[in-house]
Amino acid sequence: MNLKGRSLLTLKDFTPEEIKYLLSLASDLKRKKRMGIKGSLLEGKNIALIFEKPSTRTRCAFTVACVDEGGHPEYLGKGDIQLGHKESVEDTARVLGRLFDGIQFRGFSQENVEKLASCSGVPVWNGLTDAYHPTQILADLMTLQEQFGQLKGLRLAFVGDGRNNVANSLMIGCAKMGVHFTLVAPRSLWAGEELVDLCRSYAADSGATVSLTDKLEGVEGAHAVYTDVWVSMGEEDKAAERLSLLRPYQVNEALMAMTKREDAVVLHCLPAVKGNEVTEETFEKHATVIFDEAENRMHTIKAVMVATL
C-alpha cells in the first residue's frame, strides 16, 4: 500500500484498509526493535517537531522513532519559531517545507495543522490539536489488537469528557475498524451531533455501532474502558465545574465490575490524575496495558513516518 506523501491530520482521511496497514507495519517495526534490529528507513530525512503544547509521550515517541530509523528530529518549541505571530502559518509552512522532509505539529488549532499540510508540500502529522489526536488512537487500536487478537467486534466504552480530542478521534477510529463504541458521559459533554452522524456512517460500513448514554450501565460488555483527564489543556478555568460534573463517572472497581467481563482492560492516554478520572487501585491493576499503550505511541508514529516518507 502506498501512503507516500500523505499527511495524517485526522483518521477521517484514512480508509480502514490504510489504518490496518499502519497497524501491521507498526507491529512489524515493534518486533524488529525488540530483536535489536536497527532500521534505516528514514535515513537522510529531517523532521521538524513543532510544539505549542508541552508533551512527554508525543515528543519522545517522535524523537525516538525518528532516530531509530536513521532520521534527524529538530524540536521547535513555541519560543523557537513565530508560528502565526510575526510570520503567518502559511509562510512558516513554506519555509519549513523547503528545509524538512516532514513536519509534526502539536498545538491548539486544527486549522493551523491543516494550513501546514496545504502549504508546506511535505507530509504533516497531527501530534494533537484541540479537535483531534489521531496518533494516540493508532496506539490505542494497536494495544487492543495485542490484547484481544483482533479489533472487529470488540466493545469500547469511553467514560468522561466526551467532547475532547481523544474521545472524538476514538469514535472515528473505532467506527472505521468495526469496534462498537459507547460514549458514557453527562449529556452536556457529549460529542457534536455532526461528528456522531459521520461516525455512524463509518460504523454502518464496518458493522460497528456508535452509542451515547449518560448512564454508567453503558460500560456493560466493554472489552476496554477508556478514560482521560477531566480538564484538558487550556480549560483550567473550568476545573471546579468539570470535577463536580464528572465525579460520578470515575473509573474504579465498581465501574469495572459493571462491564461483566473478567478480561476487561482500562486504557488511558496519560498523564493520569489518579483520584479523579481513575482510582489509583484501578490504574495500577491495569498499568501493564496502559504503559503498553504509551509505548505503542512510538511504534505507530514510526509506522506513520515510514509509510508517508
- Is 80 designated active site? no
- pLDDT at residue number 138: 99
Q: What is the pLDDT of residues 181-232, one digit of tens each?
A: 999 999 999 999 999 999 999 999 999 999 999 999 999 999 999 999 998 7
pLDDT surpassing 90 at residue 10: yes
57 is in an annotated binding site: yes
Contacts of 55 (CB under 8 A, 6+ apart): 106, 127, 128
pTM (2 decimals)?
Answer: 0.97
- Is 34 designated active site? no
pLDDT surpassing 80 at residue 177: yes
Q: Which residue's entry shows cell 459507547?
A: 182
- pLDDT at residue number 238: 83
Distance between CA atoms of residues 178 and 199, nearest Å: 11
Q: Which of 104, 119, 228, 268 is catalytic?
A: 228
Q: Mean pLDDT in the chain?
A: 97
Q: Which of 119, 174, 199, 269 is catalytic?
A: 269
Distance between CA atoms of residues 268 and 272, nearest Å: 7
pLDDT surpassing 90 at residue 233: no
- Is 228 designated active site? yes
User: What domains are there in the chain, each with its CATH number?
Assistant: 11-133+296-308 (3.40.50.1370), 136-294 (3.40.50.1370)
182 is in an annotated binding site: no
58 is in an annotated binding site: yes
- pLDDT at residue number 237: 86
- Is 180 designated active site? no
